[in-house]
Structure 1
Amino acid sequence: MPRNMDMTALRSFVAVSDAGGVTKAAGFLHVTQSAVSMQLKRLEESLNVQLLDRSARQIGLTVHGEQLLGYARRMLDLNDEVYARLTHQAFEGELTLGVPHDIVYPAVPKVLQRFNAAYPRVRVHLVSSFTRNLHNLFGHGECDIILTTEDFCEAGGKTLTEIPLVWIGAPDGTAWKSRPLRLAFEHNCIFRIGVQEALDRAGIPWEMAVESDSSRTIEASVSADLAVHTVLQGMGAPYLEPVRHGGALPELTSKKINLYVSDLAKGQAAEDLVQYIRSAFSSL
């Protein structure tokens, strides 16, 4: 009696092998962990062999799993090739891109526009959050590609550019002259502690006048001249402007814009999206 391989189960098996675990693979496949585990169980039962070694912290392959992996890759490649050829949808699917809110403009809209022109059937799900949260999402396989703003670049990342932080305030505002200096920052902003330390070294008293989880709240408060904020140079909202303080405020450090790409983000569409991102940020 002929037996048929379950392509969905094979796709889950390859994803778990590449990711080293069910959690990250589930995030990449956009399904639940339980769904992936169930597919793997059915695959093992249909072949009557154990494919995964679950005894270690990171899932590995058994001898049977190693033998199946090569076949599975070839079968999935052929399946995808046939489907693309006969449906004329060579590039279809979804990629999740994570970007800190404060570096979305001006580069990311141009990247998305360029990518959509080249791959109209591929949906890019844009996630805007803080660098710490984006790292967490990336680690769980919930983002295929992330950009971050950091002092250093972690293993597996690539620094695209390095941009100085600048003080920003309301047009013709005077909040920067107040003492203590009134600051406005999101609770999880990665720039916050460094700015406070710079003010302490300069002997400038400060207070947190506005705190919020909402970037819009911070921008509205600063544009109302209630406080000052910091952004990467050239990336402030159009209704705010750099503070011309003439040395009254300390100079700030620069931050790296880093790129991290999941090992599971494969294919020409993902490669081109990464290239568009590199090109956009290297020209800033």
Structure 2
Amino acid sequence: MRNLDIGTLRSLQAVAEYGAVTRAAEALNMTQSALSMQMKRLETLFDHPVLEKQGRGVMLTVFAHELLNESRKLVAQNDAIMARFTGQRPAGRLRLGLTTDWMFVHVPKAVRDFREANPNIEVVISDGRSNHLRQLFRQNDLDMIMTTEFDCPTGAQHLMKADLAWFGAIGGDAWTKRPLPLANSPSCAYFPRGIAALEAAGIEWEHTLGVGDCEANQVLTAADLGVNIYPRALPQPGLEVIDHGGALPPLPPTWLNVYITDGPAQAGAAEFAGFLRRAVSEVTSAAA
């Protein structure tokens, strides 16, 4: 009978989260060669490849993903037993800042999976607009943030590409009116990009009366009093992507980015980012 090594399974998790053997080894305070040997032992044990190259990094094979899903349960159970019978209950807190747009799409699954794997880490979630989250992150008030941006600034990691689309009321015709009634809030990151696209196309526009916060704008749009800009992958209650046949200009793509602290919570933040990346992938694949 062969026995699985908990430390090796932790290393497999780290490689999955960081997407690179070098970074995973650094996070685990071990050498790259030692971690690589652990991956080789897994391959020998199961007679299946574990890692494959992807660009400058690596990714888990299909087999390794299946192994990872099962091994998380074993690692979590190991930690629960140690905590119960040794009295050593690791206390920690992970402070997350998440852009409002994506709060209820990918985040719940990631938080649930992270908490199952890390039952003794308290997760504190803040939501807000991307520019405010970046400010809090720079002040070290947050350990990881998820933002919506039009590029990948220094220190950020791309999570997924998100195409923008014009949204309107289901069956509505506000998009045919000129000037085009635009319901996005001026504080929305999509607002200046939408204006730039409209003006480049020579389409006159105006603000919808009563423009306020995100919820108010959504109500106005659902009432067919204006159009709004959202990521295409985010369904909005009462709204639909406008099938305008080219009457409205194309919009630039945006990116979902994550920033991870280099402070004491770095390992936990990177692990959560990995859960978030998987949740994004699963939800996106299911919607395709």
TM-score scaled by length of structure 2? 0.65
Q: Secondary structure at the match of 1:185?
A: coil
Inter-CA distance 260–84: structure 2 relative to 1 (3 Å threshold): farther
Question: Which residue of structure 1 lines up, in the alignment, with residue 167 of structure 2?
Answer: 168
Please say if residues 102 and 236 of structure 1, whose CA atoms lie closer than 8 Å, have aligned partners that are also in contact: no
Per the TM alignment, residue 269 of structure 1 is displaced from its structure 2 partner at its CA by: 3.6
Question: Which residue of structure 2 lines up, in the alignment, with residue 253 of structure 1?
Answer: 252
Query: How many Å separate the matches in 2 of 1:99 and 1:166?
Result: 21
Question: Which residue of structure 2 lines up, in the alignment, with residue 87 of structure 1?
Answer: 87
Asked if 1:105 is matched to 2:104, the reply is yes
Inter-CA distance 261–166: structure 2 relative to 1 (3 Å threshold): same
Query: How many Å separate the matches in 2 of 1:214 and 1:159?
Result: 27
Please say if residues 138 and 145 of structure 1, whose CA atoms lie closer than 8 Å, have aligned partners that are also in contact: yes
Question: Which residue of structure 1 lines up, in the alignment, with residue 133 of structure 2?
Answer: 134
Inter-CA distance 213–134: structure 2 relative to 1 (3 Å threshold): farther
Please say if residues 146 and 257 of structure 2, whose CA atoms lie closer than 8 Å, have aligned partners that are also in contact: yes
Cα deviation digits, residues 2-27 of structure 1 (max 9, x gap): xxxxxxxxxxxxxxxxxxxxxxxxxx
Per the TM alignment, residue 119 of structure 1 is displaced from its structure 2 partner at its CA by: 2.4
Inter-CA distance 217–274: structure 2 relative to 1 (3 Å threshold): same
Identity %: 32
Query: How many Å separate the matches in 2 of 1:260 and 1:272?
Result: 12
> What is the correspondence of 1:198-277 to structure 2 with a 5 Å cutoff?
198-210=197-209, 212=211, 214-266=213-265, 268-277=267-276
Aligned residues: 202
Query: How many Å separate the matches in 1 of 2:209 and 2:140?
Result: 34
Please say if residues 143 and 265 of structure 2, whose CA atoms lie closer than 8 Å, have aligned partners that are also in contact: no
Inter-CA distance 247–155: structure 2 relative to 1 (3 Å threshold): same
> What is the correspondence of 1:13-92 to structure 2 with a 5 Å cutoff?
86-90=86-90, 92=91
TM-score scaled by length of structure 1? 0.66
Q: Secondary structure at the match of 1:204?
A: coil
Gaps of 5+ in 1: 1-81
Question: Which residue of structure 2 lines up, in the alignment, with residue 184 of structure 1?
Answer: 183
Per the TM alignment, residue 265 of structure 1 is displaced from its structure 2 partner at its CA by: 4.7
Query: How many Å separate the matches in 1 of 2:84 and 2:126?
Result: 28
Inter-CA distance 212–133: structure 2 relative to 1 (3 Å threshold): farther
Query: How many Å separate the matches in 2 of 1:206 and 1:179?
Result: 7
Please say if residues 133 and 145 of structure 2, whose CA atoms lie closer than 8 Å, have aligned partners that are also in contact: yes
Cα deviation digits, residues 154-187 of structure 1 (max 9, x gap): 1111112212100111111111111111011123
Per the TM alignment, residue 249 of structure 1 is displaced from its structure 2 partner at its CA by: 0.7
Inter-CA distance 229–267: structure 2 relative to 1 (3 Å threshold): closer
Inter-CA distance 98–213: structure 2 relative to 1 (3 Å threshold): farther
Query: Residue 102 of structure 2 aligns to which amino acid in structure 1?
Result: I
Query: Residue 270 of structure 1 aligns to which amino acid in structure 2?
Result: A
Inter-CA distance 104–211: structure 2 relative to 1 (3 Å threshold): farther
Inter-CA distance 275–84: structure 2 relative to 1 (3 Å threshold): farther
Structure with max Cα Rg: 1
Query: How many Å separate the matches in 1 of 2:123 and 2:180?
Result: 41
Q: Secondary structure at the match of 1:135?
A: helix
Cα deviation digits, residues 189-221 of structure 1 (max 9, x gap): 111101001001111110011565521111111
Question: Which residue of structure 2 lines up, in the alignment, with residue 147 of structure 1?
Answer: 146
Query: How many Å separate the matches in 2 of 1:194 and 1:181?
Result: 15
Cα deviation digits, residues 235-273 of structure 1 (max 9, x gap): 132332111111111111101111100111536543321
